[in-house]
């Protein structure tokens, strides 16, 4: 009756919505979970998007219990045994893999660089405790999960008690500074300068060198611009040298970043 009257419209067999309701990405995820039936969960890149992690992508990516078939080119369905409760949570009522399980799943579908950005974002924001991630990774890697060793190597490279890059741009800066010829910087180093506490993106405290990654979104606006200037002046007055690199340089000319940091380190150590 509601279909005939136009009050409802069919999205898929046995899945309906109110006529005229605006289509949204989350609606598409809910619809896919309903189509998949009990035990269907948003996963992989769609789960990353729901959790606000780098590596998230538009589209619908879900995990369904093995044996079910969804013939829909708009849905990317992974098939596995029923996900254990420890790997499932909800975001706005949508069943989704936990952050720990999402990272393990992303390891199978993302390039290592993109996986590293998702990992650093989750750890720095406290979205997943490191021991919990290590536990789930160990359990799932034992079953031969693709990409598990890549994620393990990235996790092992991050010292448990040390800060990690707090943004995608900082992670990319870290990759630029890694490798032979440059010592590893300290991330999130805190400095008291000019009566204020400054948290540096990364630093070489022994020579008082700060290296900052400047993203437009976090440094735009007059108030933020003026605060950045005051912060930098306080650091310089306290004896620090500050190098600042925008996204375009870090992304397009990493050699320039390495050269400037290496030359400045050499000068300060003399």
- The model's pLDDT over 2-27, given as tens digits with 9 standing for 90+, comes to 555 555 566 666 665 565 567 688 88
Query: What pLDDT, in 10s, does the model give residues 57-87?
Result: 888 999 999 888 778 888 999 998 789 999 9
More confident residue, 198 or 49: 49
**Average pLDDT for 136-164:** 86
Summarize pLDDT for 112-127 with one digit per residue, the tens: 999 999 999 999 889 9
Model confidence pLDDT, tens digit, residues 190-199: 999 888 888 8
Nearest CA-CA partner of 38 in 59, 17, 67: 67
Question: Where is average pLDDT lowest: 40-44, 79-83, 114-118, 243-247?
Answer: 79-83
Q: Give kind and range of the element (H or E) at residue 10.
A: strand 8-12
Average of per-residue pLDDT across 215-242: 79
d(CA 93, CA 42): 11
Q: Can you give the pLDDT at residue 19?
A: 58
For position 4, what pLDDT does the model report? 55
The mean of the pLDDT values for the chain is 86
Output the pLDDT for position 50: 95
Q: What topology is assigned to 168-269 in CATH?
A: Endonuclease; Chain A (3.40.960)
Measured CA distances, 201 to 168, 188, 253 (Å): 12, 5, 19
Report for 71-80, 100-109, 177-186: range of highest mean pLDDT: 100-109
- Parse the chain into domains and list their residue ranges: 2-156, 168-269
Between the CA of residue 120 and those of 87, 150, 202, 211, what are the distances in Å?
Answer: 20, 14, 14, 18
Q: What is the pLDDT of residue 86?
A: 96
| CA dihedral sign of residues 155, 156, 158, 161 | positive
Phi-psi region for residue 81, left (φ > 0), alpha (ψ -120 to 50) or beta? beta
């Amino acid at each position: 009756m509601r279909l005939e009257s136009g009050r409802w419209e069919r999205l898929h067999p046995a899945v309906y919505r109110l006529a005229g309701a605006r289509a949204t990405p989350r609606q598409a995820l809910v619809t896919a979970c309903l189509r998949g039936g009990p035990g269907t969960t948003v996963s992989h890149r769609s789960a990353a998007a729901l959790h606000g992690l780098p590596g998230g992508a538009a589209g619908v990516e879900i995990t369904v219990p093995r044996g079910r078939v969804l013939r829909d080119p708009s849905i990317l369905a992974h098939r596995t045994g029923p996900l254990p409760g420890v790997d499932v949570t909800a975001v706005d009522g949508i069943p989704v893999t936990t952050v720990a399980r999402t990272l393990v799943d992303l390891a199978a579908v993302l390039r290592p660089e993109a996986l590293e950005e998702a990992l650093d974002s989750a750890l720095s924001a406290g979205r997943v405790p490191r021991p919990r991630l290590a536990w789930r990774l160990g359990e799932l890697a034992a079953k031969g999960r693709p990409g598990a060793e890549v994620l393990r190597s990235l996790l092992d490279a991050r010292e448990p008690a040390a800060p990690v890059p707090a943004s995608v741009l900082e992670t990319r800066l870290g990759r630029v500074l890694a490798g032979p010829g440059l010592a590893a910087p300290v991330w999130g180093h805190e400095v008291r300068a000019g009566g204020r506490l400054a948290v540096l993106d990364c630093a070489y405290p022994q020579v008082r060198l700060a290296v900052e990654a400047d993203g437009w979104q976090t440094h735009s606006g007059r108030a933020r611009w003026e605060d950045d200037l005051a912060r930098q002046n306080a650091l310089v007055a306290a004896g620090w040298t500050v190098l600042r690199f925008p996204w375009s340089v870090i992304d397009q000319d990493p050699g320039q970043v390495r050269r400037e940091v290496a030359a400045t380190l050499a000068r300060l150590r003399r």
